[in-house]
Structure 1
């Protein structure tokens, strides 16, 4: 059970500041540990479940998806569904499975949906062009009459990588809706917008880095324009070849420069690997207000 306790988080952050640790460096060993295989994805397509074991790999290509069928991705730490009818992601969830880095102790929906705004013509004729599945990594590419949508995910206690990349003739609007317990807020230490739930697990009162964990994340856009923001929803215009990603845990508050302006053959140079200062956790997050409607 998770008990709301922002005061505990506040005390932990204050203790860090009092100790003169307003900025802390994540040890390289911690970053390396995040690259270890700790999860295992199983993906169900058209009633068949693919679940390779022990470093083996499953690849499938050019598979038709019957109307109404969803692609179901289940991991040890992360699970979600992809609906070919909308090319959207639904119920991206942290399971809360036992792990020293977990941020929740029960299944928690982080995103209710991540859905592109496309016409019926653009969404027609969807096929699974390719799926690559190995251990805790999965890549799924759907092709429709209008273009492609690529999904990449990692099964990690703090989410790991998740990216949604459109390839259409023009920009694609993607709307993110947070889970019912989460909200967007302005981080008091960084001035950036994060999302979280203001909670920390009672069963994990203190992390290995010396302060309380909480469910904390941020949207990670590349070649995008933000169109709308409130406490539960963001809408982004994403260029073809750009992407909407997300990060959780310490990566969500690292003082990095952000993603590069890259739409083709992008390198993994945005991965920080513990080399950038990490400020304290926010003390008492307040949801962003809903903008007034004209």
Structure 2
């Protein structure tokens, strides 16, 4: 996980890059959520809402589930549908925060859905669910395997990942929200997603800063199968993952995650800071590939 750097250092680094200064890269992996004000996750299962007191947690195991699981936080919210093992309406709330990127609720991903057969899904139950202030873990057990979801209730950073364990590759389809699009970053040459809006960072109001909405898919042991301006299809190895990274972590000049499917956090750790290039200026959607 990436150890966060102060924003002042990130801005100074961006200035160095713009000026052509040389910078040394260090190995990188999955990003960590920023140290924003504490989140407040609540998870609703079978009509019951679990919202632990500050500093406490709630744990559930081996629970039959009927209907979508609603995850709602201060900064993010989404639903998990046991009938598809997919995530729907992953949303930034726009709550006041020094690191926020939107000022109103904004759907970042309309869906993150695995392509599985009815036989692979079968009867689904909650294998394990754990809720803390700013952290939620949900593991669903299906007929053919398991799907793990991990989320952080922060305004940006590495705040979501989805991990299939089905003994073979699982295709997962990412569909962006209606206001967002994938584009090629002019400074990094890599694919980001965003809404194309200029940031408002020069003045701080009583409700906090508004930064440019930027993100990227963060795969580990996964192969991209398709890409256009709103959809990406990934083939994910069992034990691999698809992460979601928002904010400056989405554009910093890292080398990406290692090819690892078990106990990967420690070897993906960074003990310093990474260069952050300037913000993209006029992003345009990736076109639909010609047939």
Which of 254, 257, 278 aligns to 2:255? It is: 257
In structure 2, C-alpha distance between the alignment counterparts of 1:212 and 1:145, rounded to whole Å: 44
Are 2:180 and 1:182 equivalent residues in the alignment?
yes
| Cα deviation, residue 200, structure 1 | 3.5
| Cα deviation, residue 212, structure 1 | 7.8
> Secondary structure of the equivalent of 2:127?
strand
User: Does the 8 Å contact 2:18/2:278 carry over to 1?
Assistant: no
Q: Which runs of 5+ in 2 are unaligned?
A: 1-10, 25-30
| Cα deviation, residue 205, structure 1 | 4.3
| Cα deviation, residue 17, structure 1 | 7.9
In structure 2, C-alpha distance between the alignment counterparts of 1:224 and 1:33, rounded to whole Å: 22
In structure 2, C-alpha distance between the alignment counterparts of 1:284 and 1:247, rounded to whole Å: 21
- Distance change >3 Å, CA 266–CA 218, structure 1 → 2: same
- Distance change >3 Å, CA 154–CA 18, structure 1 → 2: closer
In structure 1, C-alpha distance between the alignment counterparts of 2:182 and 2:21, rounded to whole Å: 23
User: Does the 8 Å contact 1:45/1:72 carry over to 2?
Assistant: yes
| Cα deviation, residue 199, structure 1 | 1.0
RMSD: 2.6
In structure 1, C-alpha distance between the alignment counterparts of 2:133 and 2:261, rounded to whole Å: 27
- Distance change >3 Å, CA 224–CA 144, structure 1 → 2: same
Match of 1:226 in 2: 224
User: Does the 8 Å contact 1:92/1:110 carry over to 2?
Assistant: yes
User: Does the 8 Å contact 1:37/1:136 carry over to 2?
Assistant: no
> Secondary structure of the equivalent of 1:145?
coil
In structure 1, C-alpha distance between the alignment counterparts of 2:214 and 2:257, rounded to whole Å: 19
- Distance change >3 Å, CA 282–CA 22, structure 1 → 2: farther
Match of 2:19 in 1: 20
| Cα deviation, residue 292, structure 1 | 1.2
Match of 1:119 in 2: 117
In structure 2, C-alpha distance between the alignment counterparts of 1:23 and 1:180, rounded to whole Å: 39
| Cα deviation, residue 122, structure 1 | 0.5
In the alignment of these two chains, the number of paired residues is 269
Q: Deviations over 1:114-151 (max 9, x none)?
A: 00000000011100000011110010000000100000
| Cα deviation, residue 213, structure 1 | 2.4
User: Does the 8 Å contact 1:129/1:142 carry over to 2?
Assistant: yes
In structure 1, C-alpha distance between the alignment counterparts of 2:101 and 2:269, rounded to whole Å: 21
| Cα deviation, residue 36, structure 1 | 5.5
| Cα deviation, residue 269, structure 1 | 4.1
In structure 1, C-alpha distance between the alignment counterparts of 2:275 and 2:265, rounded to whole Å: 22
In structure 1, C-alpha distance between the alignment counterparts of 2:271 and 2:17, rounded to whole Å: 27
Q: Deviations over 1:256-280 (max 9, x none)?
A: 1100011112224435476110000
Match of 2:28 in 1: none
User: Does the 8 Å contact 1:104/1:215 carry over to 2?
Assistant: yes
Which of 280, 285, 288 aligns to 1:287? It is: 285
In structure 1, C-alpha distance between the alignment counterparts of 2:252 and 2:18, rounded to whole Å: 20
User: Does the 8 Å contact 2:176/2:231 carry over to 1?
Assistant: yes
In structure 1, C-alpha distance between the alignment counterparts of 2:239 and 2:199, rounded to whole Å: 38
Q: Which runs of 5+ in 1 are unaligned?
A: 1-11, 26-30
